[in-house]
Homo-oligomer: A and B are copies of this chain.
């Protein structure tokens, strides 16, 4: 059987414990998981693409079948160019669901060979998002457990500089 690989795309600004939970479970399901940091020029990110890739790598050293990349442009183009047929997405809430539903159908229309696989975010992380973590850290709130250890340290350092 040919190996089954999947892409897990996102902004990861920064990666949270909820993302790590999805990656760990995706790594059980697929032969390889490619975590792909999307270069989105529109938003002002807290961490640069390089920092986000490095934080993901530092947080995923316990998984041997996961690699971290960055990508620019359309998701479907990246999938075609890298012979990937599956996308993993985490679902947390109703509004996630609707948006993800639309994107999954659009992507399938753009490339009939691809498919999207959804996993439910663990209940202990369903209230955790990158934006909530950023806001919490900016006020000096306790983020322990909401993000992997390397991200916790990076956030504290980042906001010491800014503050």
Contact = CB atoms under 8 A, between A and B. Distances in A.
Contacts of A28: 85, 115
Interface stretch (A7-15, A51-59, A89-97, A147-155): A89-97
A106 interface: yes
Given A97-B94, A105-B120, A29 B1 contact: no
Given A98-B94, A123-B105, A123-B127, A118 B115 contact: no
Contacts of A73: 139-140
Interface of A: 1, 3-4, 25, 28-29, 31, 73-74, 76-77, 85-86, 91, 93-95, 97-98, 100-106, 108-110, 115-120, 122-124, 126-129, 132, 136, 139-142
A69 B17 CA distance: 35
Nearest to A107: B127
8 contacts: A74-B136, A103-B127, A104-B120, A105-B120, A106-B136, A116-B119, A117-B119, A118-B120
